[in-house]
Structure 1
Amino acid sequence: MSPHALDLLAPTYVTPPTERERPPGLPEPTSDEIRLDRVFAVLSEPLRITIVQRLLTSSDEFDHTCGWFGFDRPKSTLTHHFKALREAGVLTQRQYGLERRSRVRLGDLNERFPGLVDLVLAWEPTPSA
C-alpha cells in the first residue's frame, strides 16, 4: 500500500484496536484461498466497492452493521452484497446476536494483491447522466 493511502485510512485500520472478546468470524476463505478474479468480480458492483471504501475511510469503530451505511436498499439486498464480499475474501464478518458486523481484510488483501487497496481508495463513482 502506498504511503499516501495510509493517510486516507480510518484510524481503526491504521492502529487496529487490541484484541478483545469477540464472537468468532463467519466462514470465509483463508488468505491463501483469496483469488483475484473473485475479488475483481465482487468489486465490479459499485455498491460493493462503495461499502469497502467507506469501511476503509469512515470507520471509527472496529466493525459495522449494514445499517451503519445508511443505504436506501432492502436489508436482504445488503445482506447479499456483504455475503458476496465475505465469500470472496474482501470482508470478515462476526455475528453479534442478531447483527452481522463487517471489517475489510486489509492485511490479507495487501499481502495477496499489493496495490489493490490503493485502487479501491482512489475509486470514484461514475457520474450519473
Structure 2
Amino acid sequence: MTKKIIGRVDKVDFPKLNLFDIAVKIDTGAYTSAIHCSKIVEQNGVLHCDFNGEAITFSAFSRTDVKSSNGHKENRYKIKSEVIVFGKSYRINLTLSTRDDMRFPVLIGRQFLKHKFLVDVDMEHVSFKQKCNEYSNTF
C-alpha cells in the first residue's frame, strides 16, 4: 500500500458528526486523535455531546487515559467515527476534549496516521486543495 503524503495541517470532513472542512493539526507527537466538543454528558449509558452547536449522541463509547505534552494525564471519552481525507473514508478513534483555547479543533495522532500517511511538515492543506481542485473541475 502506497502511503499518501499529508502536510502539517489540513481540512477534513467528519460526515457522521456533520462536520465539514474542519481544520486539523497533524501531530506525530500524539498517539491518539482528539476532537473538540462541549457539553459532554453521560446519561443512562448514552453519551451526549455538542459539536459546533449540534447535539450528537453515542451509544458506543469507551474511556481512555491520555497524557498531554506537559505530562498531565486525563481520562477522556473515546468514540469511533469516520474521517474523509484525500476523498477516502477511514475509520478513526477520537478522544473528546474541550479545545476552546486551541488553534485547531482536531489533532490527528500516530494511531490514525500509521500505515496510511507520511507527514511532510513543509506542506499544508494537501487533501483540502485536492478536494477543491476536484470540485472546481466538475463545472
* TM interval, short-chain normalised: under 0.3
* Structure number with higher helix proportion: 1
State the TM-score, normalizing by the size of structure 1.
0.28
* Structure number with higher strand proportion: 2
